[in-house]
Amino acid sequence: MPDFSDTLVDRLAEADHVAVLTGAGISAESGIPTFRDPGGLWDEFDPQELANVEAFLDNPELVQGWYRHRRQVVVEAEPNAGHQALADLEAHVPSLAVVTQNVDNLHTRAETGTVIELHGNITDNYCMDCERAVGAEAVDVAIQEGEPARCPDCEGLIRPDVVWFGEMLPADAMARAEAVTERADVFLSVGTSAVVHPAAQLPVAAREQGAYVAEVNPDTTGVTDDVHETIRGPAGDVLPALVDAVAARVDV
């Protein structure tokens, strides 16, 4: 049985607003590698070589190919018990928002109502020059032909609709994330190493603004010292047990 406190269950059962920040760890049990864990995406590649615009311009085929591979993994993955538990939690609290750093669409596919994507969505692509949206098939065809994928209108390079280091997060998503953080009575940080900013600042801001803050992670993170409690374990075990406990408390 995961080791969470009665205080957390009580606070969730009494909360008007719950906000949850998620990272790659929540999708690990769906078979999508995290970034920084052993065996993760960046064991093989230096993030500075792939997840920034200079790397893309230096070698667009390499970066487009890497994202195409990851898109295929994501499309074949299914939401797991952790994603499902957060979607289920919506039935037991008046308002719930999931703020995700993940680009894998799995919260939406688990039918969570409010999902705020901070780092974009890997299934979308757009032209760097004219910014028109371009379907993934165009990228697939070009890469199979050994060419960088280019815009059918203006020949600009096609890039994934994700946020790379040094780029601003989508302003509307960041504003919504800050608003739900400020409102939150309870804030959960799930499956993130909490080292990438500005997302990593949200659990800290939530606590400063009065929320009860808990993290769910098998390991220590950048915000472990800032939260009220840490529940050590995989999200797919911890979240269903936590949501069951909240449901039992709410239904009493």
Considering the rule CB under 6 A, would residue 39 count as an interface residue with ligand BJW? Answer: no
Q: Cβ of residue 250: shortest distance to ligand BJW, in angstroms? A: 24
Q: Cβ of residue 14: shortest distance to ligand BJW, in angstroms? A: 25
Considering the rule CB under 6 A, would residue 23 count as an interface residue with ligand BJW? Answer: yes
d(CA 244, CA 174): 30
Beta strands in the chain (DSSP E): 17-22, 95-100, 115-117, 120-127, 133-134, 158-162, 186-190, 212-216, 229-231
Q: Which of positions 101-160 make contact with ligand BJW (CB under 6 A)?
A: 101, 103, 119
Look up 83 and say whether it is catalytic: no
Q: Which of 17, 92, 107, 119 is catalytic?
A: 119
Closest to ligand BJW by CB, 166 or 251: 166
d(CA 27, CA 35): 11
Considering the rule CB under 6 A, would residue 79 count as an interface residue with ligand BJW? Answer: no
Q: Cβ of residue 23: shortest distance to ligand BJW, in angstroms? A: 3
Considering the rule CB under 6 A, would residue 35 count as an interface residue with ligand BJW? Answer: yes
**Residue 189, φ and ψ in degrees, nearest 5:** -115, 115
- Nearest residue (beta carbon) to ligand BJW: 25
Which of 115, 163, 211, 242 lies at the binding interface for ligand BJW (CB under 6 A)? 163
d(CA 252, CA 44): 50
CA atoms within 13 A on the CB side of 74: 21
Residue 129 burial class via C-beta count within 10 angstroms: exposed 0-12, middle 13-18, buried 19 and up? middle
Q: Which of positions 167-226 make contact with ligand BJW (CB under 6 A)?
A: 167-169, 191-193, 195-198, 216-219, 221
Closest to ligand BJW by CB, 101 or 230: 101
Chain mean position to CA 125: 18
d(CA 151, CA 239): 42
Pairing of strands 115-117, 133-134: unpaired
The residues binding ligand BJW (CB under 6 A) are 23-26, 28-29, 34-37, 40, 51, 101, 103, 119, 162-169, 191-193, 195-198, 216-219, 221, 234-235
